[in-house]
Amino acid sequence: MAEEIKIGIVFSYFSKAGVAAIKLTDSGLKVGDTIHIKGNTTDFTQKVESIQIEHEILKEAEKGLDIGIKVNEKVRSNDIIYKIVG
């Protein structure tokens, strides 16, 4: 069974672009990582395809940064982001 570690929280969602704005509170994130997004009505897993900060494309982002990632489903403020490890 894969382990999940909390890495951050959603603070905004841009529905036209399908992008979640995330504050990385506990850990960093890399393109290619698999994440689990969970909230009251949100619960899905996906691979991170791209990370952006202020329209700049990054391969990885460190803890403490606010980032945007493309998401496959709608997310909501305060949804928790977990990284699947192992």
Q: CATH assignment of 3-85?
A: 2.40.30.10
Structural tokens at position 41: 């009505």
Closest C-alpha to 38, from 86, 1, 72, 76? 76
In this structure, are strands 56-58 and 66-70 parallel, antiparallel, or unpaired?
A: unpaired
pTM value? 0.94
Q: Any residues with CB less than 8 A from the CB of 56 and at least 6 apart, and which?
A: none
Note the pLDDT of residue 86: 80
Domain regions of the chain by residue span: 3-85
- pLDDT, tens digit, 9 for 90 and up, residues 16-27: 999 999 999 999
- pLDDT, tens digit, 9 for 90 and up, residues 33-60: 999 999 999 999 999 999 999 989 999 9
Note the pLDDT of residue 74: 98
Structural tokens at position 40: 């009251």
